Each structure stands twice: as structure tokens, then as C-alpha cells.
Amino acid sequence: MSYSKYFKSGQKLLLTVSTAGQVSGRTDSLTAYFQDSGPDYFDLTLPYGGDEEESFPFIADMPFVIHSETFGLGLRLSARFSERRGKQAIRVTVAEDLQVFQRRSDPRVDLQAGLRYTKGRGALRTFHKQWEKNVQILQNSKDLSRLGAFPRRPINLSAGGIRFGIKGTVDITDICLVLVELGTAPPICALAEVVWVDETENEERCTAGMRFLSLLDSDRKRLEIFTRDVLKENR
């Protein structure tokens, strides 16, 4: 099947690990860019940089769902990891199940919330391991008082991502480990990726919009309910 109508060189994709045969109850994703294709494969590049040991932990035949968009329409396509083609390049085998659909955005809300974050560059695997460790601690601990108070700050929040002001410089595809306190325990813990940056505030601070890469399904549900309730209250 030819996908040249829908996928162009440099097009941004989101690869989401399929839960079939994988750890359930969570979503793990990463960004890639389309470079080329053959009869049954896509060649993709990854934007994260860093050492090879920090690369995403691909395994043979790891199943993904490819998400992208074209002409305002959403694209969804199944794929499996095939091989590495270099430090930041991979090949995936694609199925013939392309879906084209009307995109729906997650509702977003502006609010003051408790927030902590750690940002980094080229350290995808390290941050992913830290996210896994944190969610286990938050889910299994009966006493979260040792976390202390979360600094409250203005954020824009949805079930799919977050926006807030950051000190210092930040670049597209930088990784952030984010904890958000919504008033009910435990706090939301997500691995997020910077997708856009507004540097108009001042030289020492910018606003970054982030997409959640790794998030527990239960936390996504909490965010969906929370944003829905906030929108109801603000009507």
C-alpha cells in the first residue's frame, strides 16, 4: 500500500506502544519524524539525541500505533519495530490498516495548581526509568506527607499535556518529569515532552507547551474528570 499521499519527509509522528502483549494500565509514547518508506516499512528518525544507552528501549517486533495528521485530519496506523538504522534512525514495519478521521482535542483548563518538574535533554531512558519508579512509589505509599507542599503556580492542563512557565532555556523535544497536585492524593506523575516554546516573556523565563509521553491510564482518567469538572464550574 502506498502512503505517499499521507506521509511526507520530515512529518512529525507520535509512536505509542501498543498495550497488546505489553504492560497494561499505562501509555508510553515518543516522537519520530518520517523520512522514507518502502512497500511495507517506514524509516524514521528520533529527535532526542544523547548517548545510545539513553535511547528508547526498543525490542524486536515491539508493536506501535503511529499517530499523525494531514490536512487537519488525524492518521492512525499499526506498526512494529524492525531494526535500528543508526544512532537516531529506526525502521518499522507497517500494517495495511491506515485510518483517517476527524481529530478531537482534549479539553484544556487554566488554573493554579501544585507543580514540580525536572527537565533534561537527551536522557529519555533515564527519565523514563525515573517516571516508572515514581509512579510505583506514589501508587504503593500510604503516607505521602514526606512529599511536602507543592509550589502553586499557573498552569494550563489537559489529559494530554500541560503548559507552564519554566526558568532558563528549553528546547523542543526536551524531556520533563512532571508532578501535578490536584488536591487529591496521589499527585499526577507524567513524563512529558516539550512540543513548543514561547520565549517572549523575558531572557530568564519562557513558557513551554508539553505533551504527555508516559502516563498511567488511571491518571489520564483522573485528568479527564478533573478538567471536565473545572469546565463545568466555570460555566
Average of per-residue pLDDT values in the chain:
91
Q: Domains for the chain: give ranges and CATH numbers.
A: 12-102 (2.30.110.70), 109-233 (2.40.10.220)
Question: In this prediction, what percent of the chain has a pLDDT beyond 70?
Answer: 96
Mean pLDDT throughout 34-47? 96
- In the structure grid, which three cell numbers stand for residue 112, read together? 493554579
Q: Is the pLDDT of residue 39 over 60?
A: yes
Confidence grade of residue 22 (pLDDT, cut at 50, 70, 90)? very low
Higher pLDDT, 155 or 184: 155
- Give the pLDDT confidence score for residue 24 in this predicted structure: 65
Give the per-residue pLDDT at 137.
92
pLDDT given for residue 20 in this prediction:
52
Full DSSP string of the chain: ---TTT--TT-EEEEEE-STTS--SEEEEEEEEEEEE-SSEEEEE----S-GGGS----TT-EEEEEEEETTEEEEEEEEEEEEEETTEEEEEE-S--EEEE--PPP-EEEEEEEEEEEESS-HHHHHHHHHHHHHHHHH-S--GGG-PPPEEEEEE-SSEEEEEEES---TT-EEEEEEE-SSSSPEEEEEEEEEEEEEEETTEEEEEEEEEEEEHHHHHHHHHHHHHHHHHT-
User: Largest alpha-carbon pair distance within the chain?
Assistant: 56
| Residue 172: all three cell numbers together | 523542543
pLDDT of residue 21: 44
**What confidence category does residue 224 fall into, taking pLDDT thresholds of 50, 70 and 90?**
very high
pLDDT at site 75: 97
